[in-house]
Structure 1
Amino acid sequence: MLNWRIEALHLKLKYTWKIARGASNEKINFLVQVSDGRYSGFGEAAPNIRYDETAEVLLQQYEVLLKAGLPRVRSVEDLLELLTEHKPVNSLRFAIESAYIHYFCQHKGIPVYTLLGQDPPGKQPTCISLPIMEPGEVADFIRMNNLNRFSSLKVKVNPEQATELVQEVLKFTERPIVIDGNEGWTDPDQLMVFMEQIDTSRALFVEQPLPASHAAAYAAIKDKSPLPFIADESIIDDGDFEMLRTQFHGINVKMMKAGGYINAIRLLQEARRLGMKTMIGCMIETSLGIWSAMQLSSGFDFADLDGFLILEEDPFGLVQERDGFLYLK
């Protein structure tokens, strides 16, 4: 029998993390461990209220899985069957699946990426995100955090300040930017006006500007947009890809949304089959979650894996960042 345990990770942030949906100065994630007494595997859950994930729900579902036979799992196939029959929220599903796969690979003496059929993770460039802030704070924020060492900057925006905030960021960086709306716009015409007011030649794409429920609006403006649209909240652990490609030019796969390595690979393959751009992203996570994402990152066009860089202190040190590149320790 395997021994499983879960514990809360209380994570303080370096600065107020503000996006279109709200703001926070701390985060509670969860560490899941599985062990046979000799070999151990660890996984991280970063619950997100956008997907109705709370600490209480996560812990309740973990107890259900224990009672349903989690300690008696003997293979990846056993685990997947259990997680299908007693489906937990996606962040917990990823923590459990990844913990078991990490344990299994330790036991067998093989790299995680080999088991998953991926290329070895190497030096990985990542963009870095700026939270929503007053435009007058941008210059000091970029300078104090030395953000120009990264190959691109992601700007979190809301409709009220988006134009001024983006223009201010472009004054203090020569790097290309990504614009992340986090479903902040509700009026597609207002979104189009915003894009007409900024220098789109210096932007790579816009991530999820309208709510996921606005499928018809996305489809109506996709081909008129001066910038590609990348789906985030519109693609969780599954999606109608034939419909998604009428709304978006690409997708953002996050391990915590996908619910596991295996499903994340499926989403990547489906997007590639349809010629869509692919991005691997993250929540606010420790280097354990980022280490896990890096096992797949070589297969994606673009990486946004800066979640651990927002933490005041990372408890694991599994990934190092130098000059805007990530390295596995």
Structure 2
Amino acid sequence: MQIHLHPFTVHKRVPLTISRGTTAETTNLWLVLDHDGITGWGEASPFSVRGTPQTTEAIAQALQTFLPNLDGYTPFDRQAIEALMDSHNLLSAARTALDLALHDWLGKRAGLPLWKLWGLERDRTVPTSVTIGINTPDAAQQRLVDWLATVPDVQAVKIKLGSPAGLEADQAMFLAVQEKVPAGAKVSVDANGGWDLEGAIAMSHWLGDRGVTYLEQPLPVGWEDALPRLRQESPLPLFADESCFDRQDIPKLAERVDGINIKLMKSGGLSEALRMIHTAQTHGLQIMFGCYSDSALANTAAAHLGAFATHLDLDSHLNLTDDPFHGATMQQGRLLPTEKPGLGVKKSEA
């Protein structure tokens, strides 16, 4: 196998603010794997959750150090390659780039898109949400208006709360955005760990009275022991995001939340995402997929598993001014992978 890394910088059309800060641009990594005349693509994007940030520089260094260990391996050796990644404690985002490329290569070798290779029903895919970051009420409302003007058939809206300005600021922003939500569209809230327990309990009732469908990561990482009380008192289903990286986290959360948010950069790729899905299903948990500052490459990869999800939040690439890739397409508010083999991702036209 020949593997090359290519950094690329993407810029958000509208910077996204959450409880932990604002992101306007990121430099991601494009991994290109060549073997037997077939090329597989993967992506790693930086993120900072729970411990040491996975920066672009750290991910690139991890891959450059690890890749020489793959001499003599082929894309058919996924189990052996996973064992190598385990033994080297490879960063999850670095694992994701390689894992996606291996899956893309295999799908192209088989001549089938991944969703069809796995025997999934693409039409089960639910609509993906568009995300409204923390802002003033007027600016947040305008952000939704802009989304509705650029993305057809929006059927789900995710509102980021957990403002450092407090619960009153959260409520004012929510009410402003709600005024512009299309009739029949589902509304969810993600606090990104921005509330304490009492605030989360109060907001869960306030949001429940206003038709919100679920509440994501209401409490900070490290507050998982407070989740049972919140779940008991909350009228809304609770989803864990930052508190859930991989399948090992799921049994500990199973009695504390109603669902988990799988992100490929946290999980380490599609291989672990599939294991997380089956583990979550075993525990009776709902499943959603989310993203960081991912391009269409990584979001298309996640979309291949969309048939398993109760909720989807794969909109980061829709907010980029310079996405170098094109893959899954928006149809009736749903992000659907195509019939093209592998991931079905191509370079965007200049």
Superposition TM-score, scaled by structure 1 size: 0.92
Deviation at 1:92, TM superposition (A): 1.1
Query: 1: CA distance between counterparts of 2:266 and 2:96?
Result: 8
TM-score by length of 2: 0.87
Residue type of the alignment partner of 1:156: K
- Determine the C-alpha separation between the residues in 1 that align with 2:179 and 2:96: 39
Provide closer, same or farther for how the CA distance between residues 124 and 241 of structure 1 changes in structure 2, counting only shifts above 3 A.
closer
Partners of 1:121 and 1:297 within 8 A in 2: yes
Q: CA deviation at 1:118?
A: 4.2
Deviations 1:6-51 (CA, angstroms, capped at 9, x unpaired): 0111001101111111002111111001002611000011121225
Is 2:258 the counterpart of 1:249?
yes
Aligned partners of 1:118 and 1:296 also within 8 Å: no
1:235 aligns with 2:248: no
Contact 2:263–2:290, Cα closer than 8 Å, also in 1: yes
Whether the 8 Å contact between 1:200 and 1:226 is mirrored in structure 2 is no
SS of 1:202's equivalent in the other structure is: coil
1:136 and 1:199 map into 2 onto residues whose CA distance is 23
Q: Which residue of 2 aligns with 1:156?
A: 160
SS in 1 for 2:326: coil
Q: Which residue of 2 aligns with 1:301?
A: 310
Give deviations 1:34-83, integer Å, cap 9, x for gaps.
Answer: 00261100001112122520112111111221232x24222212221221
Q: Which residue of 2 aligns with 1:86?
A: 88
Q: How does 1:173-252 map to 2 (within 5 A)?
A: 173=181, 174=183, 175-185=185-195, 187-252=196-261
Aligned AA for 2:305? L
Q: Which residue of 1 aligns with 2:104?
A: 102
Contact 1:76 1:101 in 2 (8 A): no
Question: Secondary structure of the residue that 1:247 maps to in structure 2?
Answer: coil
SS at the partner of 1:308? helix
The aligned amino acid for 1:6 is L
Q: Over residues 116-171 of structure 1, what are the superposed CA-to-partner deviations in whole Å (9 max), with x where a residue is unaligned?
A: x3404346521111111101223322222216831110001124221111122122
Matched, 1:284 2:293: yes
Residue-by-residue CA offset, 1:237-275 (whole Å, 9 max, x unaligned) = 233433302221111111111112121111111111111
Q: Which runs of 5+ in 2 are unaligned?
A: 339-350
Partner of 1:61, secondary structure, is: helix
Between the two proteins, the alignment pairs up a number of residues equal to 325
**How far apart, CA to CA, are the structure 2 residues paired with 1:120 and 1:79?**
29
Q: Give me the identity figure in percent.
A: 25
Contact 1:34 1:40 in 2 (8 A): yes
Match of 2:40 in 1: 41
What SS class does the counterpart of residue 282 from structure 1 fall into? coil
Q: State the Cα distance separating 1:85 from its structure 2 match.
A: 1.6
Q: Which runs of 5+ in 1 are unaligned?
A: none
| Alpha-carbon spacing, 1:88–1:242, altered in 2? closer, same or farther (3 Å) | closer
Go from structure 1 to structure 2 and tell me whether the alpha carbon gap of 1:86 and 1:20 turns closer, same or farther (over 3 Å shift).
same
